[in-house]
Chain A
Amino acid sequence: MDFVQVLRDEFMGRFGERLRIEDVDHAKRGCHLDITASGVDIEEAASVMDGLGFTLEAISGIDWPAEEAMELVYDFNKMAEGGRIAIRVRVSRERPEIASISKIYGGANWYEREAHEMFGIVFSGHPNLTPLVLPEDATFHPLRKDFSA
């Protein structure tokens, strides 16, 4: 079963114009599908991925001060059957807020805590958004581009 194809159809059917799906060359970009999904409810997208049996491998945050936005890249992988999907979401830089998917994927709990402490992105619905690797009382966000020690 070609999960990439199934996923593409599922996403196109459910979200249609709200996302932009790009077929990429795995040898050049490292994933099979690159989905830009800024207008989409991330919880719904994550539950689609969960339903198809994908694993959440990483949540990376990227700070784009020039574009007044922060980007979150969710890397999903279908283990042993092939299919690496990257879902990109952009949030605004002054009030970065997005829904948490930690109820769907338990692993997202730690990734979201890390993105929060490094960038300041607030994940609404997260049970425990305290710093994970930084000290418990840290109020700074080191990976922002305007951070200076």
Chain B
Amino acid sequence: MTELLSIEPIRMLVFLVGTILFVALNAAYLTLLERKESSWFQRRLGPTEVGPWGLLQPIADGIKLAGKQVIVPDGVDKILFVLSPIMVSVPVIMNLATIPFSDTLVARNIDLGLLMILSFTSFNVMGIMFGGWASRNKYSVISAARVVAQNVAYEIPMFLIAISLVMVTHTFDLRETVLLQTGGFWNWNLFKLGVSPLMPAACLLFFVCLLAETNRSPFDMMEAESELIAGAITEYSGMGFGLFFISEYANIVVGSCLVTILFLGGWNCPFGLYPGLHWFFVKMYGIIFVVIWIRWSFPRIQFYGLLNLSWKILIPLSLAHLLLTCVMVKIW
């Protein structure tokens, strides 16, 4: 088996299929997790009909979506309309190629892995903007404008925190970053207070930026249901809508992976005993659980409040963190 895998094309094929399966299954079962989790918070049951405990619900939803008629409204910009879901979902799947799930399980370990992920995340914005504009629907245009403003505003603190982390780890390579955090949880970047006393705050900032970049509540301007119906993706039906959905959950997965790798020590065990893939998944799904938890607990922030939070609070804080890290790294 391993000899087969060492043949490069076969290895790539296996990882390609594996990645796409991973994304698809995650997107499908994260919808179920969201529905179940929201029902726990809301004192009700959630999906229970299809399969035991509703486990086959996403399959049923997927079949339904695949069977829907893809309606392309009259007068839309056809190229952009079709390009938009592709542009939103493909870069996210490509991101997963560089994420190290464990010491040996990584599709292609690029030494600029972090940079690649951060730059591909920016594609998300363009895709939604094209979708909103091409839909020829006033609500979609308003929503697309909001999304652009929000995502641009929140990319900046995210990148600043990433830069300050790179200053600590001296590498963009994600696998290296995790390897530097081996040992118990005191080695994790989150707790490396000796390098930067604001590290836990930086993790929180990064997490908030993650919520904003993936358009999750309380930053869900794009899909503010009670105001703009479904926002930029109102006019999409069938598989186009399915692609947007997949990309949203894939974004959440990629973001959680990033937080896990950068701050929580990747696949390392908290007590240094049995590192491996399972720890990575525990941490990643833990963060996803918190992301969903936040969505169902808080109201939505006002649009100008959201922008205020980013430009007036998060950016100065992340700049301060960057400066502090510089100083600490130089002195110690």
A–B touch (CB < 8 A): the answer is no
Residues of A within 8 A of B (CB): none
